[in-house]
Structure 1
Amino acid sequence: MRAEPMPCDDSARLLDEVARALEDRAPLRIRGGNSKAALGRAVMGREIDTRSHRGVVSYDPTELVITARAGTPLAELNAVLDEAGQMLPCEPPTFDDAATLGGAVAAGLSGPRRPWAGSVRDFVLGCRMITGEAKHLRFGGEVMKNVAGYDMSRLLAGSFGCLGLITEVSLKVLPKARAQRSVTLELDAGEALRELSVWRKAALPVSGACYLDGRLHVRLEGGVGSVAAAVDRIGGEDLDMRFWHALREQRLAFFLEDQRPLWRLSLPNATPLIGLPGAVLIDWGGAQRWLKSDAPSAAIRQIAAAAGGHATRFSPLPGHAGNDDGNGPFAPLAAPLLRFHQQLKQQLDPRGIFNPGRMYAEL
């Protein structure tokens, strides 16, 4: 059996590499486990690897807070929490155990529990980061000029490394539910979305809802009595709990067998069934819809925008390096929002060395 690397504070090396990049005016491509390398535009630059900077820094289960270095594998963090009967409620994917904590926060991806528990951003309490001026700051112990008033720890969630190099994260954690059950029901998609709306108003302890291949899959978590009562009301057949792990990790046949590009549509909770050009998996009770489609980017984004949401392309297009066909993998930003992002980038990374262009060419 291969021995796991020991916990290590390797921040001095990371700082040195950033300082040298500044001297050389060389861009840096931040990498952890590389599990989300296909998400975003290609970044040309020196690789700066965070995986050696790893390990849990502090964890007291009674405080419901864990602090760990950015290179710590999510699987390792989950194992530590599991021993104490606790969890990361937002369920960030581990992607074959390759994902690191820093990458999970930088990408901001959440699992099936997200609509009921919250996103990765909601559980970030604090962080340390190396700025584009090679300063190692802790938020919010140190105040950075011209960005006071921003919750920097949460701004880093979903920034894809464009604002700085995350070195350490403190997260709120929660106890695992006392009872869990999963059921599956045969329904048409419209009826499934209507039932979910009714259950939401009835405050049933739903913590996962996915519609696929003519069946609604529901996860229930909470007290023993409330879960049993919900199962009695919903009915259906028992479902193996491993389904939710496969959904979170994109290991269902839907993700693996269809070779068309993968899109994620983020929509308002109450969005009814809408026509999409391809195979569809409905997650998050309807708020997240995965699409396998060869349709043009503009057409998919127009459908998402008409429903009040946006679309992100999650997999590379054949013949286009770095998941970019000229339209970009992420939904275009309105001019005022783009200016805000550019101003924030200028404050934190004035020479533009961190993951330049990973999200947008203008960043």
Structure 2
Amino acid sequence: MDAALSSCIARIRAAADAGTPLRIRGGGSKDFHGERLEGELLDTLGLAGIRSYEPSELVVTVAAGTPLAELEATLAAQGQCLPFEPPHFGGAPTVGGMVAAGLAGPARASVGSVRDYVLGVTMLNGRGELLSFGGQVMKNVAGYDVSRLMAGALGTLGLLVEVSLKVLPVAPAEATLRFALSQAQALQKLNAWGGQPLPLNASRWTGEGGTGELLLRLRGAQAAVDAACRTLGGERVPEAETLWTQCRDHAAPWFTARAGRDLWRLSVPQTAPVLDLPEATLVEWHGGQRWIAADRGDADRVRRVAVAAGGHATLFRAATPTDIPRFTPPQPPLDRIQRELKRQFDPAGIFNRGRLFSAF
């Protein structure tokens, strides 16, 4: 057992005995995300390094404190990637923080979420016990899939020590097409294209009123991408990688122009129509994710609109401190499950107290 892991175990056991809250932190790139930050800092940066990597098996095992950029560079050298495009937000994220936040980039609707690529985890629970779940293959789960449960838990259940991830080869061909469409037209096109055998990978619509621009990214075999370009038409955008990276990290002009305002993320069915919102939206994930910058007084309206469309709204980034819940409170059955999971993994309630929901 290395010194960094031993130190983490000692800190956790002492905190559990004293009832002292701990704030788990990797690179800090997502400190803005979640209800609040509370407790003594317990960083994971000492838990670093790629433990094993088998390119032919499409699996990598990485210590939680490893910089995400280091992992991505290692994969790129072998022509592989994390297809869900985890955001960096201009910081220095870690692999553990990537899993704990559970956030994915523009390709999410086509390739799956972070948890879909988590094969196994090693973690420390609230008693300082080292636990392992899952493994390094897809069919390794009997019963409850605890390893994937850690994705999106924001560190409230335990400290990630190592994660095993499925990776994929980089697509051999890619193209981005631009279309001049209103939001209603863009949604209609995306829904129609989704039912066809096209190599759709990502989409982004921005605009005002009845005008706007749809960007569509295609990825796959060269023949499939070329055929889709001929079928769909539109204007081919050269060297579009920067556009998608900016969108992933909220550095695109749409986001930067709205800095200093509350940023809401609406998760709705892809088939949802144009929503009755007070501001212009940015639409991603083939209609399934919609961003809006809103005034503080519009919070209730944003949530009502999302629920009416069959989804939910998250206050993703608050411009100033607020008592408005960041996440939509879970329904009673799910709330009971989450509370019981928290009690089992972290009986003293020391990990990231109040980060996911204010109640725990």
Match status 1:338 vs 2:340: no
Q: 1:159 aligns with which of 153, 156, 159?
A: 153
Does structure 2 retain, via aligned residues, the 8 Å contact 1:265–1:310?
A: yes
Deviation at 1:268, TM superposition (A): 0.9
Match status 1:328 vs 2:325: yes
Does structure 2 retain, via aligned residues, the 8 Å contact 1:73–1:97?
A: no
Equivalenced residue count is: 345
Does structure 1 retain, via aligned residues, the 8 Å contact 2:31–2:37?
A: no
Residue matched to 1:5:
none
Deviation at 1:91, TM superposition (A): 0.8
Does structure 1 retain, via aligned residues, the 8 Å contact 2:171–2:221?
A: yes
Single out whichever of 250-259 and 106-115 deviates more from structure 2.
250-259
Structure 2: state its 5+ residue gaps. 136-141
Residue matched to 2:353:
356
Single out whichever of 228-237 and 301-310 deviates more from structure 2.
228-237
Match status 1:282 vs 2:276: no
SS for the counterpart of 2:281 is strand
Residue matched to 2:204:
210
Q: 1:133 aligns with which of 119, 127, 130?
A: 127
Aligned counterparts of 1:167 and 1:360: Cα–Cα separation in 2? 23
Deviation at 1:18, TM superposition (A): 0.8
Residue matched to 2:12:
18
SS for the counterpart of 1:296 is helix
Match status 1:90 vs 2:84: yes
Deviation at 1:176, TM superposition (A): 0.7
Residue matched to 1:145:
none
Match status 1:195 vs 2:189: yes
Question: Which amino acid counterpart does residue 287 of structure 1 have in structure 2?
Answer: G
SS for the counterpart of 2:93 is coil
Residue matched to 1:242:
242
Does structure 2 retain, via aligned residues, the 8 Å contact 1:33–1:103?
A: yes
**Compared CA separation, residues 178 and 44, structure 1 to 2 (3 A):** same
Percent identical pairs in the alignment equals: 45
Aligned counterparts of 1:257 and 1:17: Cα–Cα separation in 2? 42
SS for the counterpart of 2:247 is helix
Q: 2:106 aligns with which of 103, 106, 112?
A: 112
Aligned counterparts of 1:207 and 1:173: Cα–Cα separation in 2? 16
Does structure 2 retain, via aligned residues, the 8 Å contact 1:181–1:241?
A: no
Deviation at 1:137, TM superposition (A): 0.7
Single out whichever of 226-235 and 118-127 deviates more from structure 2.
226-235
Residue matched to 1:3:
none
Question: Which amino acid counterpart does residue 331 of structure 2 have in structure 1?
Answer: A
C-alpha distance after superposition, 1:168-223 (max 9, x if no partner): 10000000111011111111111111111111111210101110121000000011
Structure 1: state its 5+ residue gaps. 1-7, 142-147
Does structure 1 retain, via aligned residues, the 8 Å contact 2:269–2:310?
A: yes
Deviation at 1:299, TM superposition (A): 1.5
Does structure 1 retain, via aligned residues, the 8 Å contact 2:27–2:97?
A: yes
Q: 1:316 aligns with which of 302, 315, 318?
A: 318
Does structure 2 retain, via aligned residues, the 8 Å contact 1:279–1:293?
A: no
SS for the counterpart of 1:90 is coil
Question: Which amino acid counterpart does residue 180 of structure 2 have in structure 1?
Answer: E
SS for the counterpart of 1:301 is helix
SS for the counterpart of 1:314 is strand
Question: Which amino acid counterpart does residue 346 of structure 1 have in structure 2?
Answer: R
Q: 1:44 aligns with which of 38, 59, 66?
A: 38
Deviation at 1:317, TM superposition (A): 3.6
SS for the counterpart of 1:220 is strand
Question: Which amino acid counterpart does residue 119 of structure 1 have in structure 2?
Answer: S
Deviation at 1:9, TM superposition (A): 7.0
Runs of 4+ in 1 over 4 A off after TM superposition: none
SS for the counterpart of 2:6 is helix
Question: Which amino acid counterpart does residue 254 of structure 2 have in structure 1?
Answer: F
Residue matched to 2:266:
265
Aligned counterparts of 1:342 and 1:296: Cα–Cα separation in 2? 30
Q: CA RMSD in A?
A: 1.4
Deviation at 1:316, TM superposition (A): 2.0
Match status 1:307 vs 2:309: yes
Single out whichever of 131-140 and 9-18 deviates more from structure 2.
9-18
SS for the counterpart of 1:193 is helix
Question: Which amino acid counterpart does residue 270 of structure 1 have in structure 2?
Answer: T
Tell me the TM-score normalized by structure 2: 0.93
Question: Which amino acid counterpart does residue 307 of structure 1 have in structure 2?
Answer: A
